Amino acid sequence: MPAAPEPGISATLKVRVHNIGTEDARQVTVWAEETPTGRIIGERTMARLPRPRNMLPSHATVSMPWIVGANTTGVRVVVDAANVIEEIYEGNNAAEIFVDTNFDRRTYYQFAFTTAEIKTEGQYYNFTIYNEPWECRVYKGPDFWSAEAAIPYTSLHAAARPGRTWGINVYRNTQTFRMPESQEQRRKGWKRSERNALSATFGSHHEPHRFAEVTFGPRSDR
């Protein structure tokens, strides 16, 4: 935050609280203290903070009158400390597509995207830079999401021909997030909540020897 006002000045502290979770939050307590002294500025409780609609975060602003204390250099704000729950974060609600066009169980392409339509791609055995065009579109409903991806043959450097077999895997994962208060907690803060894959995975979805086999048949004009 910007430098604190001068000691003794009468001010108003405004705190914007976001809900990026999957459920309405109720009886959410917000309190603030001066740093480094720990002097309490105020406490407010919100009866209800609605859940996001169509995956767009909701928010509310609470205000606290503040007589700035001596030796104050900043403010620490804590939200709902007694009722912290792990919530799904949209940026890490993702799907990934893996394509082994050589069917060598070793080299493959990866295409990944989130519900925010942030996408990335990679080429593996030993990872190499890969930046080929492809598209994805995400539809977000009130309590679900779906996606469609279009990957040109030119970006795969291969084409699906009758009788040819590729390795394919489709993977979806969500992860929960608890705000870390230290580097150690940051490393431990992400906790996997759910994952689904087309083919079996054990420990990692980067396992081309476990990818599903897809064999292309004759082209149909229907």
What amino acid occupies position 26? R
The closest alpha carbon to 109, from 117, 120, 118, belongs to 120
Distances (CA, A) of 132 to 60, 103, 126: 41, 20, 18
pTM: 0.56
pLDDT 10s digits, 46-62: 998 887 776 566 888 99
> Would you state the pLDDT for residue 55?
54
Distance, in Å, from the CA atom of 51 to the CA atom of 88, rounded to the nearest integer, reads 11
Distances (CA, A) of 168 to 136, 137, 158, 199: 17, 20, 14, 8
> Would you state the pLDDT for residue 194?
64
> Would you state the pLDDT for residue 1?
46
Distance, in Å, from the CA atom of 153 to the CA atom of 161, rounded to the nearest integer, reads 11
pLDDT < 50 regions, the chain: 1
CA dihedral sign of residues 157, 163, 167, 173: positive
Distance, in Å, from the CA atom of 198 to the CA atom of 167, rounded to the nearest integer, reads 11
* Encoded tokens for 141: 């409903």
SS3 22: coil
Phi, psi for residue 21 in degrees, rounded to 5 = -90, -165
CB atoms within 10 A of CB 126: 6
